[in-house]
Structure 1
Amino acid sequence: MESTIVCGAMHFVGFEICKELLNRGCSVIAIDNEEQAERFHLEKWLEIGRNANLMRLSIEEIRDEIDSETVCFIPFIDFLRSSEKMNDLLNTVENLIQMENITEYHIIYPSQYYHSFSDMDKRKLHTIFQKNNRIKKVVEYYAPTLYGPWQPNTYLFQQLIEGKPTDDYLDDQRDAIFIEDAVKEIVGNTKATEHGQSLLLRNVQSDTWRNCILFLNESFSMPDEKKMIDNSDIQIINVKEQRSYQEGLIMQMECFKRFYE
């Protein structure tokens, strides 16, 4: 895997995918429709630094840059709370599938979506792929709550860090994984996957989500526990975090303090 495209490269998961691909020496075309030059957006790219393997292009500029087989990553999970951004993503994918050199698509959904057949945007994305029979490989990953630096406040962890918890959050209460470790598994498994596969990321440590919540707020009223996804149709990828959840959350808190307070 030498040539890659990442949709939503300024977003939480998309940015981490960019970093991991660059760390592995891949060529990365980063797509993002956001034009803001907000301080934290600029800081993200400063975190990567100058890298000859990274190009930030619009969808209109990409076709002339793809001259070999290319793998595309679609972090659907980053687009859930904005209909405008989701429509931009769907339009981007419709354009990308017309480019013959893009031969693989790896889509990252939230784990709650594995049993969800009613989500309109997921169905729209499936329809886009079904209309094109040239695609060699489409793989779906289902990720639980991902946490770490740059987590948006659509997640409860970040809401607690900001001191503004709500009942409206994207978290899967069954599990949580530090984003860096989750993305390493996704990118590292790319070559071994097959067309049509569904894979669920699962932390080898149980109760991580609940432990993270209690670390952030000991008095938080916990929701009822939910059963883990257990289905023979999905392959489990067990993820071992390389740092404690406390360390990961401290990194997230420090990121917030630097750029938001």
Structure 2
Amino acid sequence: MDQICIYGVYHFFAFEICQQFLNEGYQVTGIPYPFQDDREELSLMVGRNANYAEWKETGESQVKDQVEKEGKTFLFFSHYDHQFLEEKHFEAIIQHLSLILDHRKIDQTIIFQPVEYTAIPISIESFRTFQEKCEAIIPNPIYIALPPLYGSRQPERDLFVQLYRKQTDDVKVPKSNFNEILSSEEAAAFIAKKIFPHFEHAILKSSEGFTGFIEKILEKDCEWSGDLTAWSRNELNNMKVMEVPAGANSEKKQKDWLINIREFHHHNTHHI
């Protein structure tokens, strides 16, 4: 059976990807960030599953014994999550990836990248440099472009969270792809059930616009701008467009998310 490796497994979208592949019965190896101290507590969120194992830095021979199995090995690598990290963590990730790739053969890397950066504050140029360094060392990268996501484990630094709680002022909000917002759970399920294992460069979008939902989130005047776009229009035009159908309970998920954010019952999954 194919092997699934998920880097930064206990963070927002990577965690959703992990859950969906486990639901489909795949064997998943979760790779926490090297600077994450609360691994044991966070690993409980995955639950007990015989198909899940956490990558251990136990030495080359032991690691190879764990992973030399039949099928291809896919590495899922979420730049969508990386935008919520601090710049000081980027170099640690590069070094950690090099160590992992020394010990494990990866057949295909799937990179999730936001269509527009949705974390604030973020240094765009530093982040792009980090992305280029990652691409230089990971094997056979395929890009999946993601519109803004929302979900139960939304990071505190996410632009939607900041705006809805009115915790930030004078922020430029990128407008071009916000009506294509997706539930993180539904996006991850679509990837695990409909795309895997035949990946190609693609952009995901909602099958129906969420203009009303965006208006609820942005309950104040904001300056709209395209300055935060992560991709050029030509790059996006050359990608295959894949529409993710809205689930039967999409409206309920939206309402639950708004209630969760409004009542401050929100859990910050990106505490380092």
Q: What is the match of residue 120 of structure 2?
A: none
Once residues 95 and 50 of structure 1 are traced to their aligned partners in structure 2, the CA distance between those partners, rounded to angstroms, is 27
Q: What is the match of residue 107 of structure 2?
A: 103
Q: Secondary structure at the match of 2:246?
A: coil
Cα pair distance change 1:235/1:57, threshold 3 Å: same
Cα pair distance change 1:192/1:100, threshold 3 Å: same
Distance apart, 1:21 and its partner CA: 0.9
Match of 2:246 among 216, 224, 241: 241
| Alignment gaps of 5+ in structure 1 | 130-134
Q: What is the match of residue 58 of structure 1?
A: 56
Q: Secondary structure at the match of 1:257?
A: coil
Distance apart, 1:45 and its partner CA: 4.3
Cα pair distance change 1:71/1:171, threshold 3 Å: farther
Question: Quick check: 227-236 or 5-14, which moved more?
Answer: 227-236
* Contact 1:9–1:30, Cα closer than 8 Å, also in 2: yes
Q: What is the match of residue 257 of structure 2?
A: 251
Cα pair distance change 1:51/1:169, threshold 3 Å: farther
Q: Secondary structure at the match of 1:200?
A: strand
1:36 partner letter: D
Cα pair distance change 1:47/1:95, threshold 3 Å: closer
Q: What is the match of residue 17 of structure 2?
A: 17
Identity %: 20
2:189 partner letter: K
| Alignment gaps of 5+ in structure 2 | 118-123
2:37 partner letter: Q
Q: How do 1:77-226 residues align onto structure 2 when only pairs under 5 Å count? A: 77-80=80-83, 81-99=85-103, 101-112=105-116, 119-129=128-138, 135=139, 137-167=140-170, 174-175=177-178, 176-188=181-193, 189-193=195-199, 197-206=200-209, 208=210, 210-221=211-222, 223=224
Once residues 2 and 30 of structure 2 are traced to their aligned partners in structure 1, the CA distance between those partners, rounded to angstroms, is 14
Distance apart, 1:5 and its partner CA: 0.9
Please give the per-residue CA displacement for 1:67-125, whole angstroms capped at 9, x wherever unaligned.
Answer: 12321111122112412332232223222333453211111111138xx9992111112
Once residues 172 and 107 of structure 1 are traced to their aligned partners in structure 2, the CA distance between those partners, rounded to angstroms, is 23
Once residues 259 and 37 of structure 2 are traced to their aligned partners in structure 1, the CA distance between those partners, rounded to angstroms, is 23
Cα pair distance change 1:258/1:198, threshold 3 Å: closer
Q: Does 1:70 align with 2:76?
A: no
Distance apart, 1:139 and its partner CA: 1.2
Instruction: Kindly tell me the number of residue pairs found equivalent between the two proteins.
Output: 244
Question: Quick check: 73-82 or 243-252, which moved more?
Answer: 243-252
* Contact 2:6–2:14, Cα closer than 8 Å, also in 1: yes
* Contact 1:200–1:234, Cα closer than 8 Å, also in 2: yes
Question: Quick check: 167-176 or 92-101, which moved more?
Answer: 167-176
Q: Secondary structure at the match of 2:30?
A: strand
Aligned-residue Cα RMSD (Å) equals 3.3
* Contact 1:79–1:85, Cα closer than 8 Å, also in 2: no
* Contact 1:178–1:245, Cα closer than 8 Å, also in 2: no
Cα pair distance change 1:122/1:146, threshold 3 Å: same
Cα pair distance change 1:138/1:201, threshold 3 Å: same
Q: What is the match of residue 132 of structure 1?
A: none
Q: Secondary structure at the match of 1:120?
A: helix
Cα pair distance change 1:67/1:106, threshold 3 Å: same
Q: Secondary structure at the match of 2:98?
A: helix
